[in-house]
Amino acid sequence: MASLFVFDMARNREFDEQKVIETATELFWTKGYNAVSTQDLIDAFGISRSSMYGAYKDKRSLFLLALQHYRQTASQSMLDILGKNISFIDTITLILNQIIKETITDIKSKGCFVVNTAIELAPHDKEILDIIQENRKNIIIGLTQAIQKGIDNNELSVNNDPKALANYFYNLINGLRVDAKVTKDKQNYKETIRLALTVLQTDKKGSR
């Protein structure tokens, strides 16, 4: 029985799994979970229905893989930037400008896959809510640590509250991504970033 199981798995996975996950991510990201049918996935993958079910069980299982794939790429990219040995002002400016660039070039107005999922599914799906909350926690931790490093390096005033600022920039980032679905006003985004940076206290003596 074991050898037959291995044979069936190998037969079912005679396709590029990485490409399938990337295709699923793009499809769910663009249309959302509920608007994507199983047939949409099969057509996009170019594989048989039996191969898809044999490898991924069902649409929801594939969606979870796609969501985790997005986290491992987009969210990890932000965490990598936050971990760079540069000033926090340069770091957050880089992140916000990168979001603007992605927004301007996003002709499908997809926004952020995680944010889209939080709106569509998290309110009534505990497993997905847990994934979204974990993603939020990790990014806020990364932001908090980067802000604290700025304080420790005497770049930012000790009057800054790292956790409060981390929550502020996290919400700003998500707000920009939601707004990206309805507008692509580059100048407006740049003004938003300019104003956002004014919340940072840089006077080392502790007064603004």
Cα 145 from chain centroid?
Answer: 19
- Under the banding of pLDDT at 50, 70 and 90, the label for residue 51 is confident
Mean pLDDT of 18-32: 94
Structure tokens at 6: 């291995």
* Each residue's pLDDT tens digit, 110-138: 999 999 999 999 999 999 999 999 999 99
- pLDDT over threshold 80, residue 189: yes
- pLDDT over threshold 90, residue 34: yes
Angstrom distances, CA of residue 48 to CA of 37, 39, 55, 147? 14, 10, 11, 50
What is the percent of the chain with per-residue pLDDT over 90, rounded to a whole number?
68
The amino acid present at 123, given as its one-letter code, is P
Element (H, E) at 12: helix 2-12
Cα 6 from chain centroid?
Answer: 34
| Cα 67 from Cα 120, distance rounded (Å) | 13
Domain 2-197 class in CATH: mainly alpha
The pTM assigned to this predicted structure is 0.85
- pLDDT over threshold 80, residue 6: no
Using alpha carbons, select from 1, 5, 56 the residue that is nearest to residue 23: 56
Structure tokens at 122: 């998290």
- Under the banding of pLDDT at 50, 70 and 90, the label for residue 13 is low
3-state DSSP of 100-153: HHHHHHCCCCCCCHHHHHHHHCHHHCHHHHHHHHHHHHHHHHHHHHHHHHHHHC
- pLDDT over threshold 90, residue 204: no
- pLDDT over threshold 80, residue 11: no
* Each residue's pLDDT tens digit, 61-85: 999 999 999 999 999 999 999 999 9
Residue/partner pairs of 41-45 with CB below 8 Å, 24 or more apart = 45/15, 45/20
Dihedral in degrees, nearest 10, Cα atoms 141, 146, 147, 151: 130
